[in-house]
Structure 1
């Protein structure tokens, strides 16, 4: 693991430790310190991706290791953006303590850090050498398609994490925070869904230029479509049938199982046009 990525790992671990220490010693700024550490880890990962891009002369998105590092970067970035805009939104509504830690989204800070630590730890076991692109990936669509899909997965991971915390909060009396968190789960789902939509479209265009067909029913394509349809139905149920709160949270929990199978399972359990993604 390169030093910049090790730094990210340490910063994310610090984010977890800051929250844990805050709870043990009743420190009022526990979430604030966690978010500062998350931001530092995000900057370190940004440097890592940029440096690897410069050295390789291409977007670092060609294999499992590179895409996983980018996924963690997108996930933490999505969390920080939602955190920022939640503060702006609450301040705009005249909340006196809009910028004070304690908002529902800040409850996700240590869990976001935990997911980042585990993911980077897992990525460290993958092949990280920079190698030449296989012919199928020698295209400008590599950056457009893969970055869009990975960022969409990052938003859906945030939705999953929020749904998991929301489900735990179901036994607790935090009505205002639960409403705010459920809104975050839905908004992150929307962002992830539309990015996944764009990713499928750009993938089809790339497939046509590379293989002469927009759609080949390759396992990765098929499971991406299944995942897309699942989230489309979930959004439809929430908007038209009132599937909110626990029902929608449950949909997000199961939906991310599909995302993970599409991302990992297809790579390692099925062969197809996207088999190079497992390397």
Structure 2
């Protein structure tokens, strides 16, 4: 039996400094993203509204005339009223993104992305130094899980940018979420760097928990896309009905179209669903090795399964006619809420075999 490695207090302190430094730079990125949207909002939203209302206005009332075969007189048919199209199905082009076509807004957007990259580098350093301080995986408690989850979410965002995906509109909600997550981690969930209880000394800690973190980071992207889809879809509906532009319309008009957001959310959730499935399977295998049973209806196990069922229902409903659009988006948000409760609610409010790590 080997003795647990002693905690390196210097590395633990460096980790704390790097995490706080990352938070400071994330704050600057957050402000730069706000400036990006503010300056970008000066773009002419009227052109977008006109593009939306013109085809809709032409299709609201359709009157056709037929010539009677016998007398040749024109017969007017009853006007056909075209009802509102299915959510997200309008043929609407994507908005120009967070910059909104403004040169100054685009400049602030590039600054925001650069600051996010710098904050991400500091963030990675903080997580790695935390791991090196105790020579183990840096997700043995809620503080470490939260900091690593935030790092993974930023990594997914930057990875999509590198892949040339139009996701810069995610920058503002991303930095907002990261600051909230890290703020909660350092103020409420903070735990001193220390060794783990014996039950967690397993290579499954690296596999099971890392998959849960990556899954959650990607699911956050999908949930944010579904949330923005709801706002963008309402904006397109108002524009199609010819309503005057509101205070937020100049921002919403620069998002990708509702159809694009709906498709993007579906692809993200569908891609990560097998990984979440493997996360649950890996947890069951680890449970058998640690506790002698694959499944014991522990609160964490139950809510992991509930989350899996919620996303399975979403994917099934999303592929079924009549459950696309807003209904599917609501279901996706409900599924992600289950994921959040599985993490925060189960760990803080409920007790079970997964409670040994504390917060």
Same fold by TM (over 0.5)? yes
Structure 1 residue 80 and structure 2 residue 158: aligned? Answer: yes
| TM alignment of 1:62-211, pairs within 5 A | 62-87=140-165, 103=166, 105-125=167-187, 126-173=189-236, 174=253, 177-211=257-291
Which segment drifts farther, 258-267 or 245-254? Answer: 245-254
Quick one: which of 8, 14, 20 aligns to 1:6?
20
Structure 1: distance between partners of 2:26 and 2:267: 24
Structure 2: distance between partners of 1:262 and 1:182: 25
Structure 1: distance between partners of 2:109 and 2:257: 15
What's the counterpart of residue 249 of structure 1?
A: 329
Report Cα offsets for 1:55-86 as digits up to 9, x if no partner.
11101111010001111111111122223324
Q: Point out where structure 2 has 5 or more consecutive residues left out of the alignment.
A: 1-14, 41-103, 237-252
CA contact (8 A) 2:38 2:105 kept: no
Q: Point out where structure 1 has 5 or more consecutive residues left out of the alignment.
A: 88-102
- State the shift of 1:189 in Å: 1.2
Say which SS state the counterpart of residue 13 (structure 1) adopts.
Answer: helix
Q: In the comparison of the two structures, how many residue pairs are matched? A: 263
Say which SS state the counterpart of residue 171 (structure 1) adopts.
Answer: helix
C-alpha change, 1:86 and 1:241, in structure 2 (3 Å) is farther
CA contact (8 A) 1:141 1:206 kept: yes
Say which SS state the counterpart of residue 241 (structure 1) adopts.
Answer: coil
What's the counterpart of residue 91 of structure 1?
A: none
Structure 1 residue 43 and structure 2 residue 121: aligned? Answer: yes
Moved over 6 A (4+): none
- Aligned-residue RMSD, C-alpha: 1.8
CA contact (8 A) 1:154 1:192 kept: no
Structure 1 residue 263 and structure 2 residue 277: aligned? Answer: no
- State the shift of 1:149 in Å: 0.6
Indicate the structure (1 or 2) with the bigger Cα radius of gyration: 2
What's the counterpart of residue 231 of structure 1?
A: 311
Quick one: which of 31, 34, 49 aligns to 2:109?
31
- State the shift of 1:34 in Å: 2.1
- State the shift of 1:179 in Å: 2.6
- State the shift of 1:250 in Å: 1.3
CA contact (8 A) 2:232 2:257 kept: no
TM-score (norm 2): 0.69
CA contact (8 A) 1:169 1:178 kept: yes
Write 1 or 2 for the structure with the bigger share of helix: 1
Quick one: which of 192, 217, 232 aligns to 2:297?
217
Higher RCO, Cα 8 Å, sep 6+: 2
- State the shift of 1:271 in Å: 1.2
Report Cα offsets for 1:165-223 as digits up to 9, x if no partner.
22111232459533322222112212332221111111111111111111111110011
What's the counterpart of residue 7 of structure 2?
A: none
Structure 1: distance between partners of 2:125 and 2:337: 30
Structure 2: distance between partners of 1:160 and 1:45: 23
